[in-house]
Amino acid sequence: MSDLAEAQPVLSTGARRRDLVIPGLLFAAFAAAPFLAAASGAEGYVLSLVTRVMIYGLAALSLDLILGYGALVSFGHAAFLGIGAYAVGILASHGIRDALVQVPVALVASALFALVTGAISLRTKGVYFIMITLAFSQMLLFFIRSLAAYGGDDGLTLPARSLVAGQPLLQSDGRLYWASLACLAGTYLLCRSIVASRFGRVLRGAKENPTRMEAVGFHPFPYQLVAYVISGMIAGLAGCLIANQTEFVTPAFMTWQRSGELIFMVILGGLASLHGAVIGAAAFLLLEEQLQGLTEQWRMILGPLLILVVLFARGGIMGLLQRGRHV
């Protein structure tokens, strides 16, 4: 354990405070957005857009936990987003509309899928891990598409948003906004605690040098598997929120293209920073929103822009901010 502790940099109090500046500003901006939107007269549009940003920021944060800190490139992470969404949709179709039931079911289903698929996938490395996570995601996608009773390819419309303890607390866009912000902030703090813990140090050590970790008595597999399960559960929570925002669930939530978008969000924001994943999700979705208003061929512009960021902005947006701070 002493070798592991020595391998981790010790941050000074000042460094820790500086590390909190950007996430503090980020969450302050999220908290201020509804009031600024009300003043601008475009409250409905802004609330909808920023809620979507926070939900996908939550999904990107979950991926950053295993990608940024564990070097586990999951190309099927959107499967967990779909599991969470369909947990809400399927239960609602059977008259079970309370989030206090739907969310635990979504978390358990996501955890079980992550446990089974992760136990198999983590026995592979590199491109093999990427392909097997993609394969499991596609298997789940085809299974969902085969469920004609729940809409199949056409998806499933929710009768209404989820209740909370029998009360319609999420019916208004404003309340859903604050619920999404609370979930994002709480999950962010949880992930920071995980990364800073002994568990997180082992996970990062396995990323850097798995052979050395085994030599000092830490077998990476169980730590990686637990991180994979936690990551899947967080993405499942994001799925619950996106189902409530759209009031519609569709197999499109779990396609490989959506998984690719989550990876782009994490890389765009900056690997291994957590809040960088949220910033990357915001940049990706806001850029997408602007380009859609310019041309129908917006993907032809977005694709090259993302490639340029990957090639020339090392460390993503967070890398640029850190370099700018030291200039």
Q: Does any domain span residue 138?
A: yes
Q: Does any domain span residue 318?
A: no
Percent of the chain with pLDDT over 90: 73
Let me know the angle formed at the C-alpha of 161 by 155 and 167, rounded to the nearest 5 degrees. Answer: 155
Q: Does any domain span residue 297?
A: no
> In the structure encoding, which two tokens stand for residue 144, read together?
């969902």
User: By mean pLDDT, which of 19-23, 101-105, 138-142, 241-245 is the weakest?
Assistant: 19-23
* Phi (first) and psi of residue 68, to 5 degrees: -75, -35
Q: Does any domain span residue 271?
A: no
Nearest to 118 by CA among 162, 156, 70, 159: 70
Average pLDDT on 251-258 reads: 94
Helix (H, G, I), strand (E, B) or coil at 276: helix
Q: Does any domain span residue 261?
A: no
Residue 40: its pLDDT value, please? 81
Residue 317: its pLDDT value, please? 87
Q: In whole angstroms, give the CA distance from residue 244 to residue 248.
A: 7
Q: Does any domain span residue 119?
A: yes
Domain span holding position 75: 2-254
Nearest to 95 by CA among 154, 166, 146: 166
Q: DSSP for 129-169? A: HHHHHHHHHHHHHHHHHT-GGGTGGG-EE-SSPPBBTTB-T
Q: Does any domain span residue 84?
A: yes
Q: DSSP for 91-103? A: HHHTT--BHHHHH
Let me know the angle formed at the C-alpha of 204 by 199 and 208, rounded to the nearest 5 degrees. Answer: 145
Q: In whole angstroms, give the CA distance from residue 236 to residue 150.
A: 19
CA atoms within 13 A on the CB side of 294: 12
Q: In whole angstroms, give the CA distance from residue 277 to residue 188.
A: 10
Residue 127: its pLDDT value, please? 93
Average pLDDT on 295-305 reads: 82
Residue 39: its pLDDT value, please? 86
Q: Does any domain span residue 69?
A: yes
pLDDT, one tens digit per residue, over 101-116 is 999 999 999 999 999 9
Average pLDDT on 243-247 reads: 96
**Strand-strand pairing, 156-157 and 248-249:** antiparallel
Number of domains composing the chain: 1
